[in-house]
Amino acid sequence: MGLVHTLFRVLDGAGDVAAEAARHILVRAEQAAVARGRFRIVLAGGTTPLAVYRQLAAASADWSAWEVYFGDERCLPPDHGERNSLAATRALLGRVPIPQANVFPMAAELGPEAAAVAYTPLVEAALPFDLVLLGMGEDGHTASLFPGHVIPQGALVIPVHDAPKPPPDRVSLTPRALTATREVLILVTGVGKREALAAWRKGADLPVARIARAGRTIVLLDRASGGDLDPDGLPPDPPRSDDSGK
Ligand code: 6PG
Q: Where are the domains of the chain?
A: 3-189+208-224
Q: 102 CA to middle of ligand 1, Å?
A: 23
Q: How far is CA 163 from CA 141, 147, 173, 216, in A?
A: 10, 10, 14, 28
Q: Is the CB of 207 under 6 A from ligand 1?
A: no
Q: Which of 47, 138, 171, 184 to mutate to test the pocket of ligand 1 (most atoms within 8 A of CB)?
A: 47
Arithmetic mean of pLDDT over the chain: 92
- Burial category of 1 from C-beta neighbours within 10 Å (exposed 0-12, middle 13-18, buried 19 and up): exposed
Rounded to whole angstroms, how far apart are CA atoms 44 and 186?
Answer: 9
**What pLDDT, on the 0 to 100 scale, is given for residue 144?**
98
Rounded distance from Cα 34 to ligand 1 centre (Å): 31
Residue 61, pLDDT > 90, answer: yes
pLDDT at 109 over 90: yes
232 CA from centroid of ligand 1 (Å): 26
Across residues 164-185, what is the average pLDDT?
Answer: 98
State residue 157's pLDDT score. Answer: 98
Class of domain 3-189+208-224: alpha beta
Quick one: what percent of the chain has pLDDT higher than 70? Answer: 90
Q: Which of 6-10, 86-90, 214-218 holds the top average pLDDT?
A: 86-90
Give the pairing type, strands 157-160 and 217-222: unpaired
Task: Check if 137 has its Cβ closer than 6 Å to any atom of ligand 1.
Answer: yes
pLDDT at 23 exceeding the cut of 90: yes
For β-strands 66-70 and 217-222, DSSP reports them as: unpaired
- Residue 246 has what pLDDT? 35
User: Which of 54, 60, 51 has its CA nearest to residue 16?
Assistant: 51
pTM: 0.93
> pLDDT band at residue 5, thresholds of 50, 70 and 90?
confident
Report the percent of the chain where pLDDT is more than 90. 86
- CB contact burial 14-51 (16+ within 10 A = b; e otherwise): bebbbbbbbebbbebbeebbeeeebbbbbbbbbebbbb
